[in-house]
Amino acid sequence: MWKHQLLTHFSSMTLFVDEPLSSYTYTKTGGKADILAFPKSKEELSELIIWAKNQSIPITTLGNASNVIVKDTGIKGIVIMLEYINDIRFEDTYVHVSSGMTLIDLSKQVSEQSLSGLEFACGIPGSVGGAIYMNAGAYGGEMKDIVEAVHVIDENGQLKSYTHDEMLFDYRYSIIQNSTDIIIGATLKLEHGNKESILEKMTELNHLRQSKQPLEYPSCGSVFKRPEGYFAGKLIQDANLQGKRIGGVEVSKKHAGFMVNIDNGTATDYKHLIAYVQQEVKRQFNVDLETEVRFIGDENERN
Ligand SMILES: Cc1cc2nc3c(=O)[nH]c(=O)nc-3n(C[C@H](O)[C@H](O)[C@H](O)COP(=O)(O)OP(=O)(O)OC[C@H]3O[C@@H](n4cnc5c(N)ncnc54)[C@H](O)[C@@H]3O)c2cc1C
């Protein structure tokens, strides 16, 4: 009933009913969303949030779905993807960017402006919003190094901003993980640089990524956070778990920190393989591996 009302109320928004999210996730797994919505503007997003709140319909925001495992039972309510909200404005070394832009596109655009500071992120397949939420990082850089302010819409549809300090950034953490806010954009602070050197650095890092990571398969990137004093990939490798397979999901033989979907794997396969690896690493080295990837969706999962 509510789905029909939503379609009528937001007739100009791109909306899909009972949409399989496996078409959108980097792992190529996950059940259906009751509604998948692509608002075209911040105003439309705000209106959708208010409507959902009034109807008590839950909202889940996805960025580029490169760090999530959507459960096989899917996601109840409205799933919002922000890829159409992706404008950008330059003001000297400041970049005002909306959260739907991908880091890959953003790094190309800032390099065109000879702005340096985002090279580390040029191969991370997330959106600006998802990367800020996760404080994504690579090759010695993290989003926290360049974020000046973050702009959000709260659950009442109100706009507000966080300063860099208010974001409480930490390793793969930001305060947004403990709120219901939706990141709609950010102000980044970069530096003037040399365009050739910036492009050279990006090419070098992308080659490194291609040589080390199993990018030919669907995956969610690093499954586990770096435990203090260790590297998750090295522990998994030393535990002889590379090639370990459950269902269609395998611990990558190329990079032990990745789990690749090699044969129609499911979110449940991911869940079981993750638990197996955690158990083995604990047994062999007494180290707890905490997931970096985020499980999203209904609790009533089949086993
Ligand atoms: C091949 C591969 C390589 C990767 N390499 C790296 C790497 O080098 N470094 C690294 O840090 N990560 C890496 N990742 C993981 C992933 O790309 C990052 O975590 C990325 O920042 C996730 O962004 P996303 O837009 O895809 O977020 P999603 O996966 O869509 O979402 C992640 C979380 O953020 C929330 N979220 C997303 N957008 C918003 C928003 N606008 N407002 C509020 N909440 C939001 C979601 O609800 C979810 O909880 C890799 C992944 C893959 C598949």
Give the pTM: 0.97
Q: Relative to the CA of 213, which ligand 1 atom is closest? A: 1
From the CB of 36, is ligand 1 less than 6 Å away? no
Residue 298 has what pLDDT?
77
Active-site option among 19, 222, 250, 252: 222
d(CA 124, CA 227): 21
d(CA 287, CA 235): 9
Task: Quick: pLDDT tens for 243-263.
Answer: 999 999 999 999 999 999 999
From the CB of 268, is ligand 1 less than 6 Å away? no
For the chain, what is the mean pLDDT? 96
Is the per-residue pLDDT at 264 higher than 90? yes
Annotated catalytic residue 292: yes
| Ligand 1 center–CA 8 separation, angstroms | 32
Active-site option among 19, 116, 127, 172: 172
Is the per-residue pLDDT at 123 higher than 60? yes
Report the Cα 267 to chain-centroid distance in Å: 16
Task: Quick: pLDDT tens for 129-157.
Answer: 999 999 999 999 999 999 999 999 999 99
| Ligand 1 center–CA 142 separation, angstroms | 13
| Ligand 1 center–CA 130 separation, angstroms | 5
